[in-house]
Copies of this chain bind each other. A is one copy, B any other.
Amino acid sequence: MSIRTGIVGISGFGGGEALRLIAGHPAFELVYAAGESTAGSRLVERFPGVPPALADLVIERFDPKALPELDLLFASLPTGRSAEALARVPETVKIVDIGGDHRHVEGWGYGLADVWPERIKGLGRIANPGCFPVATLNALAPLLAAGLIATDNIIIDAKTGISGAGRGGSSSFGYAESNENLQPYGLLRHVHMPEMETAIAQLGGASAAGLVFTPHLVPMTRGLLVTIYARGSATTEACLDAARRFYADRPFVRVTEQPPQTKWASGSNLSFVSYAADPARNLIIALGAVDNLGKGAAGQAVQNANLICGLPETAGLEGAPVWP
Contact = CB atoms under 8 A, between A and B. Distances in A.
Contacts of A179: 162, 175, 179-180, 219-221, 324
Contact of A180 (B171, B221, B258, B283): B221
Interface in A169-202: 169, 171, 173-185, 187-188
A3 interface: no
A219 B220 contact: yes
A259 B49 contact: no
Interface stretch (A89-97, A108-116, A210-218): A210-218
A181 B263 contact: yes
Given A171-B168, A184-B259, A48 B320 contact: no
Interface stretch (A120-128, A141-149, A222-230, A305-313): A222-230
B188 A175 contact: no
A214 B318 CA distance: 33
A63 interface: no
A208 to B, nearest CB: 12
A218 B221 contact: no
A181 B261 contact: yes
A302 interface: no
Given A180-B263, A220-B179, A283 B212 contact: yes
A58 interface: no
State how many copies of this chain the complex holds.
4
Contact of A285 (B187, B262, B285): B187
B322 A181 contact: no
Interface in A216-271: 216, 218-223, 225, 227, 229, 254, 256, 258-268, 270
A219 B175 contact: yes
A39 interface: no
A64 B209 CA distance: 56
Interface residues of A, number: 79
Contacts of A183: 259, 261-262
B223 A180 contact: yes
A82 interface: no
A278 interface: yes
Nearest to A20: B320
A260 B48 contact: yes
B268 A223 contact: no
Contacts of A78: none
A183 B23 CA distance: 25
A324 B221 contact: yes
Given A49-B270, A323-B20, A220 B159 contact: no
Given A23-B320, A318-B51, A155 B261 contact: no
A167 interface: yes
Given A24-B319, A174-B173, A320-B20, A264 B48 contact: yes
13 contacts: A24-B318, A157-B157, A157-B227, A159-B182, A167-B174, A173-B176, A180-B266, A185-B259, A187-B285, A188-B278, A212-B283, A219-B219, A229-B229
